[in-house]
Amino acid sequence: MTSPNGTERGRRDGVPERVRPSRLTERVSTDREVLRRLLADVPVGHVGFVTENGQPYVIPTAISADGDNVLLHGSTGSRWMRLLATGVPVSLAVTALDGLLVARSAFESSMHYRSAVLFGRCAALEGEEKLAALDALTDALIPGRVAEVRRPSAKELAATIALRLTVEDWTVKVSAGQPDDLAEDVAGPAWAGVVPLVRHYPEALDAPDLRPGIGLPPSVRRLLQPENEPAG
C-alpha cells in the first residue's frame, strides 16, 4: 500500500508497521483476496475516529466493498457522518465469526474467525457515484433488491450521505484449525473439536400492511435458502 502522497509506508513481510500485530502473528494474512472475501461476507463494520475536541468514537454501520476500498452511508443529519466526510483519519474494524473451537480446557478454547482493521480517510460521493454507492450497499445486504424496488427520490438522496473510505493500510488475522491441547488433556475424558457456524435467515414475516397477493420477491427467497456449507 502507499500513503496518500504516493510514498511507500514502512512495511515488513507485507504488513504495515503501524498495524503489525504484536502477538499471534502466525494468524496474520497478507492475501488481499482474504480481505475481499471478508468484506463481502460481513455487512457491518465499526468505524473509529476522534472528534475535533479529542473525544474518540466507535460507530457500527453498514459497509460494502468498493474494489479495494469500502462504502459507507448515513443521514445528512448525522454529526459523525459529516465529520467523516471532511477526511479525518478513520479506522474500520470488520469481524466474521465462523465457528467455535472447543478444546479440552477452557484456556485452549477459542473461536474460528476472520478479522480486519483498515485505516484511511473518507470522501463524500455525489451524482452518479453516490447513486451507484447506495445501490451497492443495498445489494450487499439483500442481493438483487435494487432491481425490485423504486429508485430513490430526490428528497431521499438529499437526506443521505454516501462515503468512500480509501484504504491506506490494512491487516487481516484468521483463526482456524483444530484444538492444540496438552498431552495430558488429550488423554482425558473431555470432548474436543470444532463447531462451525452456519448463517442463514429462517423465515420472512410479511409486513402488517402488505397488500394481499404480493408474494416473496426473488431476493428474499434467496436469503431463505439454507447454506449448504459452514460459514467461512
Task: Please give the chain's pLDDT, 232 residues, in tens.
Answer: 443 333 344 445 555 565 666 555 665 777 889 999 999 999 999 999 999 999 999 999 999 999 999 999 999 999 999 999 999 999 999 999 999 999 999 999 999 999 999 999 999 999 999 999 999 999 999 999 999 999 999 999 999 999 999 999 999 999 999 999 999 999 999 999 999 998 889 999 999 999 999 999 999 999 998 664 444 4
| Segments forming the whole domain that contains residue 93 | 11-180+190-197
Residue 67 lies in a domain: yes
User: Does residue 143 fall inside a structural domain?
Assistant: yes
The pLDDT value given to residue 199? 85
203 falls within a domain: no
Amino acid at 37: R
On whether residue 224 sits in a domain, the answer given is: no
Output the CA angle 103-37-76, nearest 5 degrees.
115
Distance, in Å, from the CA atom of 214 to the CA atom of 227, rounded to the nearest integer, reads 26
Q: What is the pLDDT of residue 13?
A: 52
Count the neighbouring beta carbons within 10 Å of the beta carbon of residue 47.
24
| Rounded Cα–Cα distance for residues 217 and 92 (Å) | 33
> Are 77 and 88 in contact, with CB atoms under 8 Å apart?
no
**Cα–Cα dist 228/199, whole Å:** 10
Say what the pLDDT of residue 140 is: 95
220 in any annotated domain: no
Nearest CA to 2 out of 170, 172, 169, 171 is that of 169
Q: What is the pTM of this model?
A: 0.82
Residue 112 domain flag: yes
What is the CATH number for 90? 2.30.110.10
Give the pLDDT of residue 8.
Answer: 41
Separation between Cα atoms, residue 63 and residue 164, nearest integer Å:
10
Q: Would you say 62 and 137 are in contact if contact means Cβ atoms under 8 Å apart?
A: yes
Q: Which of 223, 59, 82, 71 is nearest to 135 (CA)?
A: 71
| Contact between residue 30 and residue 13 where contact means Cβ atoms under 8 Å apart | yes
Q: Is residue 24, in this structure, part of any structural domain at all?
A: yes
Range list of H helices, the chain: 32-41, 79-84, 127-141, 154-158, 183-186, 218-223
Whole-number pLDDT of residue 197? 94
Q: How many domains does the chain have?
A: 1
CB-based burial of residue 123 (10 Å sphere; 0-12 exposed, 13-18 middle, 19+ buried)? Answer: middle
Q: Which amino acid is at 85?
A: A
Q: How far apart are CA 157 and CA 143, in angstroms?
A: 21
In a domain, 218, yes or no: no
